[in-house]
């Protein structure tokens, strides 16, 4: 009895379940097909495990933030000369039109143009003098809509925030967060602490089933011993009231700001930090206590 | 899809994308950089807006970006002059596979024993072979899905897989040659061999085919 020849590629396709309709392989190819199936399984095992860098997720996020911010700045930089060019042309036209009015007046008109502030200047002006509440309001809750507390926004102006924060905190409790707990770090950035102390902020997403609530944790290292805070301190924001948990540990002052206590408490638990000293009560209907 | 949801889903695929990047680069740090670049491209606002969940889903889409970034970079590097040894070494690393793998005498392979050899053999394959191997084995993708991701004809995927598997099988056969029973291997070859060349190669019994 003659044996039907087998095309090796056909045997492989048979092992992979990729034979065309109506195509079949001879029974004598059983060993070959079995070998190829076993090979596939072994190759998968061999390729599945790979050495990984330390905190891949954080490094990728930091890189993405940095690059997207760079590109945004480049786009801005390209636009600004364009605006200036347009302005100059407009000014030249104005010169012609207002020639009779006088050069002095033209100078006053031109001097009203101010190029947009650099973002870092903006941050400095809004954050340094205002303290936590103003900083929150002006940076992250701009207008009626809650501005995205995204890592892009947070990290843009400070590529080295992670390294700097790690350096002065000694370690980052946030990096120990377990994603299985439904709490994940999405951003870290500098927090311009009023006065000579230092500060950083971290942003987490806390999952509640399909919903995700965002929690911002501010860490301050005040130059003096932290003073006792009064009960009932609230943050009143354009986007609505926010609950604040705050606590002191190892000389550092932490504030967790969130829409709900539950989210803030889950972050605290995930960070493995001590219990909060103070809870800010729910905002009463009809008014925001100051 | 909302941006936040998009980011979450993209980051859920981080491990899979890293695995592909690692097997392309064969270096942890290079793989990390590749993944960073993949996500920079993936999370650009224009890409987020243009993403459609159809056509293979998020993982396939990220794989396609990873493929493009890696091979574009590789092509750029190849345009630069390279040392003769490395150029020749690249070609020499790929022996032409024999049509009928001697390793098809399955009972003669001790898979546990050749595990390290298999890893080494995969490691030495060309990146385009490692890429399709990973998608085929770990991800369990069909030929057509792989072809869509890497942007080549279906036949190219089949050819790469065929050659990669033939190379691996040959390596395994050599590694396990101490336990390889010649009659068994020949028997498989006899059953499968049909062409005149195979008859000449494998002996007079091949004529029965």
pLDDT in 10s for each residue of chain B, 209 residues: 666 778 778 888 999 999 999 999 999 999 999 999 999 888 887 777 767 766 678 999 999 999 999 998 887 776 655 444 443 334 333 444 546 666 665 456 777 777 888 899 999 999 999 999 999 999 999 999 999 999 999 989 999 999 999 899 888 887 766 544 433 443 343 333 333 333 333 333 333 32
**Closest chain A C-alpha to B100 CA, distance in angstroms:** 6
**Closest chain A C-alpha to B84 CA, distance in angstroms:** 30
Reported pTM: 0.53
Ramachandran angles phi, psi of B105, nearest 5°:
-80, 75
pLDDT of residue B198: 36
* More reliable by pLDDT, B78 or A60: A60
The minimal CB distance from A40 to the residues B109, B137, B193 is found for: B137
- Give me the DSSP letters along chain A: -PPPP--HHHHHHHHHT-PPTT----GGGHHHHHHHHHHHHHHHHHHH-----TTHHHHHHHHHHHHHHHHHHHHHHHHHHHHHHHHHHHHHHHHHHTTTT-HHHHHHHHHT--PPPPHHHHHHHHHTTTHHHHHHHHHH--SSSPPP--HHHHHTT-TTHHHHHHHHHSS-GGGG--GGGTEEEEEEEE---SSS-EEEEEEEEEEETTEEEEEEEEEEE-SSPPPPPPTT--EEETTEEEEEEEEEETTEEEEEEESSHHHHHHHHHHHTPPPPSEEPPPPPTT----
The whole-chain average pLDDT of chain A stands at 61
User: Is the separation of the CB atoms in A62 and A155 below 8 Å?
Assistant: yes
pLDDT tens digits for range A86-95 = 666 666 666 6
pLDDT(A231) > 60: no
B137·A8 Cβ contact <8 A: no
User: Is the separation of the CB atoms in A58 and A186 below 8 Å?
Assistant: no
Across A93-101, average pLDDT: 61
Position A7 confidence tier, pLDDT thresholds 50, 70, 90: confident
Q: Flag the least confident range among A31-40, A52-61, A166-175, B26-35.
A: A166-175
A35·B138 Cβ contact <8 A: no
Check CB contact of A56 with chain B, cutoff 8 Å.
yes
Cα gap A50→B197, rounded to integer Å = 41
pLDDT of residue B175: 74
pLDDT(A227) > 90: no
Minimal-distance CA residue of chain A relative to B27: A51
Cα B84 to the center of its chain, rounded Å: 25
pLDDT of residue A4: 58
**Closest chain A C-alpha to B39 CA, distance in angstroms:** 7
pLDDT of residue A38: 87
The candidate with the shortest Cα–Cα distance to A36, out of B108, B9, B122, B166, is B166
Position A233 confidence tier, pLDDT thresholds 50, 70, 90: very low
On chain A, the residues whose CB falls within 8 A of the CB of B142 are 18
pLDDT of residue B38: 93
On chain B, the residues whose CB falls within 8 A of the CB of A42 are 111, 115, 118
pLDDT of residue A122: 33
pLDDT of residue B177: 63
Within 10 A of B54 (CB to CB), how many other CB atoms are there? 6
pLDDT of residue B190: 37
pLDDT of residue B96: 42
A5·B161 Cβ contact <8 A: no
The candidate with the shortest Cα–Cα distance to A217, out of A245, A176, A196, is A245
Across A55-71, average pLDDT: 75
Cα gap B16→A6, rounded to integer Å = 35
pLDDT of residue B25: 94
A31·B105 Cβ contact <8 A: yes
From the candidates B15, B62, B65, B104, which should be mutated to test the interface with A, based on the most A CB atoms within 10 A?
Answer: B104
pLDDT of residue A285: 33
pLDDT of residue B143: 92
Check CB contact of A235 with chain B, cutoff 8 Å.
no
Interface of B with A in 64-93 (CB under 8 A): none
Cβ-Cβ pairs closer than 8 A, A with B, add up to 130
ipTM above 0.85, yes or no: no
Position A97 confidence tier, pLDDT thresholds 50, 70, 90: low
B191·A29 Cβ contact <8 A: yes
B193·A5 Cβ contact <8 A: yes
pLDDT of residue A96: 64
Partnered with residue A253 across adjacent β-strands are A220, A248
Interface of A with B in 109-138 (CB under 8 A): none
User: Is the separation of the CB atoms in A142 and A153 below 8 Å?
Assistant: no
* More reliable by pLDDT, A285 or A250: A250
B165·A46 Cβ contact <8 A: no
Q: Flag the least confident range among A64-68, A109-113, A242-246, B158-162.
A: A109-113
Check CB contact of A153 with chain B, cutoff 8 Å.
no
User: Is the separation of the CB atoms in A267 and A184 below 8 Å?
Assistant: no
pLDDT(A107) > 60: no
* More reliable by pLDDT, B115 or A197: B115
Interface of B with A in 135-194 (CB under 8 A): 136-138, 142-143, 158, 161-162, 165-166, 168-169, 172, 188, 190-194
């Amino acid at each position: 009895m003659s044996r039907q020849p087998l095309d090796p590629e056909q045997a492989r396709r048979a092992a992979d379940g990729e034979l065309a309709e109506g195509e079949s392989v001879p029974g004598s190819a059983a060993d070959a097909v079995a070998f190829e199936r076993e090979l596939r399984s072994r190759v998968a095992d061999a390729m599945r495990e790979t050495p990984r860098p330390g905190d891949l997720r954080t490094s990728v996020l930091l890189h993405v933030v940095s690059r997207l911010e760079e590109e945004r700045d480049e786009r801005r930089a390209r636009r600004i000369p364009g605006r200036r060019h347009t302005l100059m042309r407009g000014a030249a036209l104005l010169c012609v039109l207002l020639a009779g009015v006088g050069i002095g007046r033209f100078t006053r008109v031109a001097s009203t143009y101010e190029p947009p502030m650099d973002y870092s200047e903006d941050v400095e002006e809004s954050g340094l003098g205002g303290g936590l509440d103003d900083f929150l309001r002006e940076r992250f809750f701009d207008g009626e809509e809650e501005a995205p507390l995204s890592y892009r926004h947070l990290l843009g102006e400070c590529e080295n925030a992670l390294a700097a924060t790690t350096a002065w905190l000694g370690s980052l409790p946030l990096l120990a967060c377990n994603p299985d707990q439904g709490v994940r770090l999405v951003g870290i950035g500098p927090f311009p602490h009023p006065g000579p102390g230092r500060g950083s902020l971290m942003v987490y997403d806390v999952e509640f089933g399909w919903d995700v609530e965002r929690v911002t944790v501010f860490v301050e290292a005040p130059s003096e011993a932290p003073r006792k805070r009064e009960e009932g301190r609230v943050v009143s924001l354009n986007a609505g009231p926010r609950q604040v948990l705050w606590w002191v540990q190892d000389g550092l002052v932490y504030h967790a700001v969130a829409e709900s206590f539950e989210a803030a408490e889950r972050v605290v638990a995930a960070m493995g930090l001590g219990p909060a000293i103070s809870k800010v009560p729910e905002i009463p209907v009809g008014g925001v206590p100051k | 899809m909302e941006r936040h949801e998009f980011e979450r889903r993209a980051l859920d695929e981080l491990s899979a994308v890293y695995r592909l990047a690692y097997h392309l680069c064969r270096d942890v740090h290079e793989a990390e950089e590749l993944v960073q670049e993949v996500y920079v491209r993936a999370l650009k606002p224009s890409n987020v807006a243009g993403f459609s969940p159809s056509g293979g889903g998020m993982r396939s889409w990220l794989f396609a970006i990873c493929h493009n970034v890696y091979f574009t970079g590789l092509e750029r590097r190849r345009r630069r002059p390279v040392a003769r040894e490395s150029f020749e070494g690249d070609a020499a690393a790929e022996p032409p596979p024999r049509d009928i793998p001697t390793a098809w005498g399955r009972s003669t392979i001790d898979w546990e024993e050749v595990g390290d050899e298999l890893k080494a053999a995969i490691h030495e394959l060309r990146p385009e072979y490692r890429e399709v191997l990973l998608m085929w084995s770990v991800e369990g993708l069909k030929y057509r899905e792989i072809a869509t991701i890497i942007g080549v004809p279906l036949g190219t995927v089949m050819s790469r897989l065929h050659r990669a598997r033939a190379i691996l099988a040959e390596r395994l056969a050599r590694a396990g040659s101490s336990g390889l029973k010649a009659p068994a291997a020949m028997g498989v070859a006899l059953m499968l061999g049909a062409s005149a060349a195979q008859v000449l190669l494998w002996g007079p019994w091949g004529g029965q085919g």
